[in-house]
Structure 1
């Protein structure tokens, strides 16, 4: 069974990443923190049990030399966080069997098709999606999340602020149309709001981890 781990990343440019952290410690230190955190996370999570795909924002940064040259990359595309997350969750089935290769200059490694998900007629294996700003994520956390999808339709990794650091689906092509609709992102309601968009689904909750939004979060990670 093909397992895919998608890591949502942003090009580490000053003022574009970790803006709340930047207000506390300075824009440049926050940018460097995010860049090194992303690098460490990607290295740590490499594992033969799953394939890592980077979901990159902004789209033009998909070919940046910041990212590992051997790793598949996709542009996140337009829309709010929920729309981009859903798009990324449904993409791996469309990439089944492809191998990463260096694209021609100025071209994206993979292009987003006009339509994704059920209409594609393609199915991949289970998919988990995470952000790059959670220092505590380990391979063991990811393995437990995929294991939970053995007898559940979806899995979430709660964050202690009411959000979540991981979302996964056993059959991404079956995700409901309204997934992530009306979610109050960046609030303590984000996880509860998302769960309400999955009525009737068997949901597993895995490890609770701490994300980093402000300087106060750094010592706890």
Structure 2
């Protein structure tokens, strides 16, 4: 089976989703981030996995994580590439990492990776890559996790995804591609995701906060 890891940070005003303010207040942006995380945790909890882990930056973990059976792994210091590399160094069984910023995530989006990593699968690829619409990535899976395949990749750029995928291919690994998803940083992206997944917790909160708000 596969370990599925959700990377997330504590949803505190002024520390998450800062590009949503304005028009939203820091507290509202934090609530939207919390709903993103809860949606993601709920979806991951429904997936077939040997272990589910919340790779968390913060003090108070979301109540949904313990309720849904997630183990907690505190994030280490350093840049995002170092933190991601750390989690790929910790685990030895097939591992799929997903971010907290795609509340529209559904089981079909990662089905190919989980089937490929299942025990006894013949011809499964080495890695799975989930490209984000902004040029980053929302998911990264490895049959044999290796932090060195992530460490040093420049993060938070419009070519981060391309650079990460190139790193995998350059190492001689086969790479499967998951669907492109929009992760949420801006209000425009939030609006797209809310329309894509109208029944999500995030979409309901987004609609609640935008009703009557000046355009």
Normalised by the length of structure 1, the TM-score is 0.76
| Corresponding residue to 1:154 among 115, 120, 127 | 127
Root-mean-square deviation (Å): 2.0
Give 1:143's aligned residue: 111
Q: Confirm or deny: 8 A CA contact 1:182 1:193 kept in the other structure.
A: no
Return the structure number with greater helix share. Answer: 2
Q: How many residues align?
A: 184
What is the 5 A alignment of 1:39-54? 39-47=38-46, 49-50=48-49, 51-54=51-54
How far apart, CA to CA, are the structure 2 residues paired with 1:131 and 1:166?
Answer: 7
Q: Which residue of the partner structure matches residue 192 of structure 1?
A: 162
Gap regions ≥5 residues in structure 1 = 93-122
User: Which of 130, 140, 151 is residue 98 of structure 2 equivalent to?
Assistant: 130
Q: Secondary structure at the match of 2:167?
A: coil
Task: Tell me, in whole angstroms, the C-alpha distance in 2 between the residues paired with 1:68 and 1:14.
Answer: 22
CA displacement, residues 137-192 of structure 1 (integer Å, 9 cap, x when unaligned) = 112212222234452111101111111100000011xx263x23443322210011
Normalised to the residue count of structure 2, the TM-score between the two structures is 0.77
**How far off is 1:7 after superposition?**
0.3
For 1:55 and 1:43, how far apart are their aligned partners in 2? 15
SS at match of 1:161: coil
| DSSP 3-state at the match of 1:25 | coil
Extract structure 1 runs of 4+ deviating beyond 3 A: 64-67
Q: 1:19 to 1:190 in 2, by over 3 A?
A: same
Runs of 5+ consecutive residues of structure 2 not aligned to the other structure: 194-215
Taking a change above 3 Å as real, the CA distance of residues 157 and 219 of structure 1, as seen in their structure-2 partners, is same
The answer to whether structure 1 residue 90 and structure 2 residue 89 are counterparts is yes
201 and 67 in structure 1: CA distance in 2 versus 1, 3 angstrom threshold: same
Is the 8 Å Cα contact of residues 148 and 155 (structure 1) preserved in structure 2? no
